[in-house]
């Protein structure tokens, strides 16, 4: 989910066929996304295929470990440019399939996260910068969480580590781009403090230390305020075209991260409560998927060597996403069951619109590039 084309994109341009070989791996990730959405529906009593409904409790695993595990590991493998790194996204995608079929999915996730950590460490050795160190920390938390879960740890013990995998990955990549403008004195130190608080809170939750969830919320709150203050999106949001679109996605996502953090600080994050459900959907849908929508027009060309020219219609799924997340949060806090169902349909509509528009823009770019050009 980086804000710039991955380093390995240059190698992809030299070998066009290689880029399309990544498509089956990406398809496994998208399958996990579909299964995650359907399992979420099943949890709300909405219609879903029987095998998915029977595994409705795997919703978080499909979304975080299988879908995001595949996408992030694939991007990291492209950046590294080594064939062995592609084993990580392949295993994560296979894990999503095995969750459906009852195979050794947890072992696949544990191995995938370990290889992802090794790839991230290799990238850090190439470029030992603060943002690369944050990516290592995020991947390490992911690997520890997957290892503990495979060994039998409870979901509430490892979920903060997995959430840190997503939050710190995004924060680290945005830290890299914040170098484009002069930082205020002490900005990097304050960022390191929030990242350290997140890592400490996640490890505290894994050890069962009371109050860790409130510190986790504090880390989200601090990172949201830091990103709102220092991200380049603050200065590019008034621009038109793709640059302004990305900035809108980022800043709106930071708002949901801020809300999730504020709830965690004031109420804690005990699993199974309406407030925690609202906070987690604000984080994982409002924040994380806003980042996905903002970065996809850049990451897509880097991963698959395709063009994705911007169109104003791409704002539509972003609007639908935020409206549906707002509905989900309100329905959770007000205990309105039908509101959760309506919001779930809205989440799915946002994703369908988003993917459909990306395919449309890719096809439009392909058609225009194949037309004869006159000198």
User: Residues 310, 245: contact at Cβ < 8 Å?
Assistant: yes
User: Which of 26-40, 48-62, 66-80, 300-314 is least confident?
Assistant: 300-314
Q: Is 14's pLDDT higher than 70?
A: no
Residue 138, in any domain of the structure: no
Please check whether residue 348 lies inside any domain of the structure: yes
Tens digits of residue pLDDT in 231-249: 999 989 999 999 999 999 9
Is residue 303's pLDDT more than 80? no
Neighbours of 73 (CB within 10 A): 29
pLDDT attached to residue 370? 47
Quick check: is 141 in a domain?
no
Work out the number of other CB atoms within 10 angstroms of the CB of residue 116. Answer: 29
- The pLDDT assigned to 306 comes to 76
Region 281-287: mean pLDDT is: 97
Q: Is pLDDT of 5 > 50?
A: no
Q: Say which range, 40-49, 106-115, 131-140, has the weakest mean pLDDT.
A: 40-49
Mean predicted lDDT score pLDDT of the chain? 90
For the chain, the C-alpha Rg in angstroms (whole number) is: 20
Mean pLDDT of 95-104: 90
Using one digit for the tens of pLDDT, what is the confidence trace for 207-240? 999 999 999 999 999 999 999 999 999 989 999 9
Question: What is the reported pLDDT for 19?
Answer: 62
Residue with the bigger pLDDT between 280 and 369: it is 280
Report the number of distinct structural domains present in the chain: 1
Instruction: Dihedral sign for Cα 213, 197, 58, 337, please.
Output: positive
Whether the CA torsion 274, 262, 135, 211 is positive or negative: it is negative
Range of the domain at 258: 232-363
Structure confidence at residue 18 as a pLDDT band (50, 70, 90): low
Per residue in 156-194, pLDDT tens? 999 999 999 999 999 999 998 877 677 778 899 999 999
pLDDT band at 102 (very low <50, low <70, confident <90, very high): confident
Could you read off the pLDDT of 53-84 as tens digits, one per residue?
A: 888 889 999 999 999 999 999 999 999 999 99
pLDDT for the residue numbered 374:
35
What pLDDT does residue 368 have?
A: 61
Task: Reply yes or no on whether the pLDDT at 128 is more than 80.
Answer: yes
- Whether 319 has a pLDDT exceeding 90, the answer reads yes
Q: Is residue 334 part of a domain?
A: yes
**Does residue 294 fall inside a structural domain?**
yes
SS in 3 state form for the chain?
CCCCCCCCHHHHHHCHHHHHHCHHHHHHHHHHHHHHHHHHHHHCCCCCCHHHHHCHHHHHHHHHHHHHHHHHHHHHHHHHCCHHHHHHHHHHHHHHHHHHHCCCHHHHHHHHHHHHHHHHHHHHHHCCCHHHHHHHHHHHHHHHHHHHHHCCCCHHHHHHHHHHHHHHHHHHHHHHHHHHCCCCCCHHHHHHHHHHHHHHHHHHHHCCCCCHHHHHHHHHHHHHHHHHHHCCHHHHCCCCHHHHHHHHHHHHHHHHHHHHHHHHHHHCCCCCCHHHHHHHHHHHHHHHHHHHHHHHHHHHHHHHCCCCCCCHHHHHHHHHHHHHHHHHHHHHHHCCHHHHHHHHHHHHHHHHHHHHHHHHHHHHHHHHHHCCCCC
The reply to whether 79 falls in a domain is no
Could you tell me the CA-to-CA distances from 204 to 97, 195, 216, 218, 366 in Å, in that order?
31, 14, 9, 14, 50
Average pLDDT of 10-32? 68
Residue 373 has pLDDT above 60, yes or no: no
> Residue holding tokens 């696949």?
108
The confidence score (pLDDT) of residue 22 equals 81
Contact criterion met (CB below 8 Å) for 275 and 265: no
Whether the CB-CB separation of 252 and 215 falls below 8 Å is answered with no
Residue 274: name the closest of 213, 325, 335, 324 by CA. 335
Share of the chain above pLDDT 70, in %: 91
Beta-carbon contacts of 367 under 8 Å, excluding residues fewer than 6 positions away, are: none
Whole-number Å distance between alpha carbons of 235 and 96: 39
- pLDDT of 1: 58
Q: Is 330 within a domain?
A: yes
Residue 191 lies in a domain: no
């Amino acid at each position: 989910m980086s804000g710039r084309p991955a380093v390995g994109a240059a190698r992809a341009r030299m070998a066009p066929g290689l880029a399309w070989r990544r498509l089956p791996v990406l398809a496994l990730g998208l399958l996990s996304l579909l299964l995650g959405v359907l399992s979420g529906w099943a949890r709300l009593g909405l219609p879903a295929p029987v095998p998915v409904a029977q595994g409705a409790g795997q919703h978080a695993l499909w979304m975080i470990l299988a879908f995001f595990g595949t996408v992030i590991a694939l991007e990291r493998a492209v950046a590294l440019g080594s064939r062995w790194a592609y084993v990580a996204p392949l295993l994560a995608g296979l894990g999503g399939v095995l969750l459906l079929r009852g195979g050794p999915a947890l072992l696949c996730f544990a191995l995938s996260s370990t290889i992802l950590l090794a790839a991230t460490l290799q990238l850090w050795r190439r470029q030992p910068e603060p943002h690369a160190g944050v990516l290592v920390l995020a991947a390490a938390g992911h690997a520890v969480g997957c290892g503990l879960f495979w060994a039998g740890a409870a979901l509430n013990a490892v979920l903060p580590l997995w959430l840190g995998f997503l939050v710190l990955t995004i924060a680290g990549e945005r830290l890299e781009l914040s170098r484009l403008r002069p930082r205020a004195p002490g900005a990097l130190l304050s960022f390191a403090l929030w990242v350290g608080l997140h890592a400490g809170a996640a490890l505290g939750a894994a050890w069962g230390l009371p109050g860790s969830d409130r510190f986790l919320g504090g880390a989200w709150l601090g990172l949201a305020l830091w990103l709102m203050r220092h991200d380049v999106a603050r200065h590019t949001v008034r621009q038109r075209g793709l640059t302004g679109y990305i900035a809108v996605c980022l800043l709106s996502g930071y708002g949901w991260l801020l809300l999730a953090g504020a709830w965690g600080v004031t109420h804690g994050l005990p699993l199974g409560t309406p407030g925690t459900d609202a906070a987690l959907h604000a984080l994982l849908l409002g924040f994380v998927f806003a980042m996905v929508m903002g970065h996809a027009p850049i990451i897509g060309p880097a991963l698959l060597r395709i063009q994705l020219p911007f169109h104003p219609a791409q704002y539509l799924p972003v609007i639908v996403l935020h409206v549906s997340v707002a509905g989900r949060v309100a329905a959770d806090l007000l205990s309105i069951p039908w509101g959760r169902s309506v919001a779930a349909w809205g989440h799915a509509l946002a994703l369908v619109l988003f993917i459909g528009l990306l395919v449309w823009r890719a096809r439009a770019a392909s058609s225009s590039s194949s037309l004869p050009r006159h000198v």
